[in-house]
Amino acid sequence: MRAKAYLGTIGAILLSLATFGCENTGAAKQEGREAADKAAGAANKAADKAGDLAGQAGDAISAAKQTFDVKAALTADTTIDASHIDVDTNHDTHTVTLKGYVPTAEQKAAAERVARDKAEGYKIVNDLRVGVAQ
């Protein structure tokens, strides 16, 4: 009889340990799922931020290319003294601004024409002054 009682006690202990392990496993699984959800949320936020930064970098590169293309075209045009012309590009407003000095009104008009030809889709602001650079 004692053996049966002893085996019954051992069985009850083993059953309670198995149940305790299952409860802990379930809780661990839930904690694991919650941690995975948090990690996924953080990864999505990081991906969104990276995408935003990449877009901003792309805009800056596009504006720099537009500035370079206009300045190169002005320099290549032998009828324009482009040595005192600054070109600024704002990608957000799609605006190219010409600033500085040219010797004649004809060169001012020619510079604007070149900028319009090179910067299609951009508004051209011609703030060039006619006269000697100061």
Q: What is the pLDDT of residues 75-132, one digit of tens each?
A: 999 999 999 999 999 989 999 999 999 999 999 999 999 999 999 899 999 999 999 8
Query: 119: closest CA among 80, 65, 56?
Result: 65
Burial of 84 (0-12, 13-18, 19+ CB in 10 A): middle
φ/ψ of residue 132, rounded to 5: -90, 140
- How many angstroms separate the CA atoms of 64 and 6, rounded? 85
pTM (global) more than 0.75:
no
Residue with tokens 């085996």, as numbered in its chain: 7
89 has which bridge partners?
96
Q: What is the pLDDT of residues 60-75, one digit of tens each?
A: 787 888 999 999 999 9
- How many angstroms separate the CA atoms of 122 and 57, rounded? 19
